[in-house]
């Protein structure tokens, strides 16, 4: 079973009834996938907001020293 998460590629084989990963490894994999999905969603949101047409100019942004 090929698995691809961001920069990680792995090939996994499961033999009938045996789970090759421990509970901790599965949890870590799930957390990696969740973080990757959240990052993709944030980037999509930022891109959408950056290209959105507005009726007026955005308020000025104060730059601190």
pLDDT of residue 18: 67
Query: CA-CA distance, 48 to 51, in Å (whole number)?
Result: 5
| 8 Å CB contact between 36 and 6 | yes
Using the structure block, give the residue that is written with the tokens 């730059």: 63
Task: Give per-residue pLDDT as tens, 3-25.
Answer: 656 666 666 666 667 667 787 88
pLDDT of residue 3: 61
pLDDT of residue 9: 62
pLDDT of residue 24: 84
Number of H helices, E strands in the chain: 1, 2
**In this structure, what DSSP letter does residue 48 have?**
H
pLDDT of residue 48: 84
Task: Give per-residue pLDDT as tens, 37-65.
Answer: 889 889 888 888 878 777 777 777 777 76
């Amino acid at each position: 079973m090929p698995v691809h998460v961001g920069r990680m590629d792995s090939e996994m084989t499961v033999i009938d009834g045996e789970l090759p990963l421990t509970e901790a490894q599965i949890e870590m994999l799930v957390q990696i996938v969740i973080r990757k999905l959240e990052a993709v969603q944030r980037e999509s949101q930022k891109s959408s907001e950056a290209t959105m047409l507005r009726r007026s100019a955005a308020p000025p942004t104060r730059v601190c020293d």
